[in-house]
Structure 1
C-alpha cells in the first residue's frame, strides 16, 4: 500500500461517486434485510421446540445474515465521513462480518445437500441422527470462524489509497494479496458448484417422482441458484481483474478495479436480504407439497 496523505473529506476524492453508490446499496440492504431477518428469526425461535434440522439451519442462516447486516450503518458512516471508531472495533467488526458471511454461504451450501439427501435418500439421512445433525450445525460455525481468521490480521485503520481514513484491508506484499483474492474466489466457485449440483440432482429426482410438485421445485431451484450467482458473481470477476493489475504493476488499473471491488462487495449484502424470503417461505411451501418427507 503506497503512502498518501489523508484528505479532510472523502468528498474531495475521485472515489466519492462509488462511495455514495456502495453506501446506498448497503443502506438498502440494511433497511430491508435487518427487519426481514429479524422477523424470520422471531418465527424460527418460536418454532425451535420442533427440533428440526431444517429449522436449525434456517436459524443459523438468519443469525449470520442479521449479524452481517448489523454493522452496515458504521460502514456507511465510515465511507462518507472517515473511520473514527478505532482499531479494535475495526478488527472486531471485520472478523464477525467475515465469519458470518462464510457461515451464511456454508449454510446455503449445506441446505442444498440436506434437501437432496432428505428428499431422495431419507434412510441415509436418518442414520445421521440428532447428534450428527447438531454436529453439522456446530461445524459450520467453527469452520466459518477458522476461515475468517485472516480478517482481523489484515485489517488496519489508516489512510486509504483514495485519500481518506478507513478500516481497510492491508496486505504486506503482492503475494499475500493475490493469495487472499484467490481464496475468496474459491469460496464462491465451490459454494456455487455445490448449490447447482445438489439442486439439479434434487430437481431431477423430484421430477421423476409423482409425490412432489416439479413446478414448485423448478421455481425454487431457479431462484436459489440465480440469486446466489447474481449477488456474488461480481466479486470473483473483480478479483481476477485486481490480480491482473497487481501482476502488471499497473497502479491506474488497480485503483479502478479496487473501486469496482467496493461496489461488488456492497452488492453481496443484498443476498442477506433475499435469504429470508427464498429459504424460509419457499421451503415452507415446498414442505407443504412434500408431506411424505419426514424432517428429523
Structure 2
C-alpha cells in the first residue's frame, strides 16, 4: 500500500531537511511549517517533522520509515472512525433536540448548538484523512474554507461546553432563582450562543486569512508563519482547554458540595456523571495539550521518534470528544432517552416494545430530585 509513496515521501523529507539545516545555520532557530487545523487537539503536522527526523534524529532510517507508515495508516483511520461515530451521535442529538425537546429549556438550546458544532467539525475530517494519505487536492479556496470551518466549530464546541458547565452550576446551586427566571435565562442563552459563534469566527480569522496551499514536493494545506502559530497556540490553550477546565473545576466543585448536602435517590448518580464528565475531559484533552506545550518550547524532542508517536496518538485520543459529547451531555438524560425511543418508533426501525410507561415512571421519579427540591424539570440533572 505504501511502496508507491516511499520515494515521494523521501523527496519531501530531503527537501525539508535541507531547508531545516539551512534555517538553523542562518538563524539558530528551527523553522516552522504549521499544518494546523486549529482545535483542542491541534493538529499534528503531517509534514513539519520529517526534515527534523532526518537531520537531527539518531534513530535508524528503518525506525523513521516505520513511523511514517504508522502515521499514514493510523491518523486517517482514526479520522474516519471519529467522523462516522460523531456523525451518527451528533445527528441524533440534533434531531431529537429540535423535533422532540422543542427547545423547552436553556439546556435544549445548548444541546442544539453543541452537536451542530461537533457535527460540522467532524465533517471536515474526511478531507484531512485524504490529505494525510495523499496530498491536498481541493484547492486554495477549500483550504481556507475548511481551516475556517474546522476552527470555528472547535471553538464553538469548547465554549458551549463551558456554558453547559456554568448552567449546571446555576440550576443546582441557585435552583429557586433558576426556576423562577426560566424565560429570562432562555433569552440570554440564545444571545450567548449567538455571541459564541461570532467570537469563534473572530478568533479563527488568522487561520482563514493566512491559510494557504504550499507545494513542498507535495501539496499541503496550512500556513507558514511562526508568529501566527504562537497566537494560535495561545488561543487554543486558553479557549480550548484552560477556560473549560477552570469552569469545570470551579463549578463542579461547588455542585458536588451542594449535592452531598442534598437528599434524593438521584444524588449518587448525578455525582457519578459529574466525575465521568471531568474524567473524560481530562483524559482526552490533557495529554495532547501537554504535548503541544512541550513541542512549542522544547525543540530537542523532535529528535525522538517516540515523541512523534506520542503526538499522533494523543491527538487521536483528543478527537474522541466529538464522539463522546452526545453520550455525556444528552444520552445520560432519561428524558432524552425517552425521546430517542420515540424517534425509533416514528421512523419504524424497531417496535416500541412498550417502553413508554417504563420511561414515564423513571422520569417521574427523577423529578423528585434536586439540590433544593425545585430544580427545573428539564435541567441537565434530570438524569
Query: What is the TM-score normalised by the length of structure 1?
Result: 0.84
Answer with 237-246 or 76-85: which moved more.
237-246
Aligned with 2:153 (options 90, 93, 100): 100
In 2: Cα distance, 1:129 partner to 1:271 partner: 27
Answer with 271-280 or 196-205: which moved more.
196-205
Greater RCO (CA < 8 Å, at least 6 residues apart): 1
2:29 counterpart residue number? none
The 3 A distance-change label for structure 1 pair 91 and 255 is farther
SS in 1 for 2:214: strand
1:157 counterpart residue number? 213
> In the alignment, does 2:2 pair up with 1:4?
no
CA contact (8 A) 2:103 2:109 kept: no
- Which digits, 9 at most, give the CA deviation of each residue in 1:217-271, with x for residues without a partner? 121111111111122112221211222235xxx5944998577544433332211
CA contact (8 A) 1:94 1:152 kept: yes
In 1: Cα distance, 2:277 partner to 2:258 partner: 17
Aligned with 2:221 (options 160, 164, 167): 167
Aligned with 1:293 (options 365, 375, 380): 375
In 2: Cα distance, 1:178 partner to 1:36 partner: 34
Aligned with 1:180 (options 209, 232, 255): 232
> In the alignment, does 2:94 pair up with 1:41?
yes
The 3 A distance-change label for structure 1 pair 290 and 204 is farther
1:216 counterpart residue number? 269
Give structure 2 stretches of 5+ with no counterpart. 1-12, 17-46, 48-63, 337-361, 369-373
In 2: Cα distance, 1:130 partner to 1:252 partner: 49
SS in 2 for 1:54: helix
Deviation at 1:133, TM superposition (A): 2.2
Aligned with 1:139 (options 191, 195, 208): 195
CA contact (8 A) 1:182 1:239 kept: no
Residues 1-296 of structure 1: pairs in structure 2 closer than 5 A: 4=15, 15-125=68-178, 126-127=180-181, 128-159=184-215, 164-168=218-222, 170-173=223-226, 175-187=227-239, 188-211=241-264, 213-246=266-299, 250=300, 252-253=302-303, 260-284=310-334, 288=363, 289-291=366-368, 292-294=374-376, 295=378
- Which digits, 9 at most, give the CA deviation of each residue in 1:100-127, with x for residues without a partner? 1111111111111101101220344344
Answer with 250-259 or 132-141: which moved more.
250-259
CA contact (8 A) 2:83 2:125 kept: yes
Query: What is the TM-score normalised by the length of structure 2?
Result: 0.66
The 3 A distance-change label for structure 1 pair 100 and 81 is same
CA contact (8 A) 2:136 2:219 kept: yes
CA contact (8 A) 1:48 1:56 kept: no
Answer with 178-187 or 83-92: which moved more.
178-187
- Which digits, 9 at most, give the CA deviation of each residue in 1:34-87, with x for residues without a partner? 111111211111125343211110111111111111121111111001110001
Answer with 67-76 or 122-131: which moved more.
122-131
Task: Say which one has the larger Rg.
Answer: 2
In 2: Cα distance, 1:86 partner to 1:263 partner: 28
CA contact (8 A) 1:242 1:258 kept: no
Figure out how many residues of one structure are paired with residues of the other and give that number.
285
CA contact (8 A) 1:245 1:254 kept: no
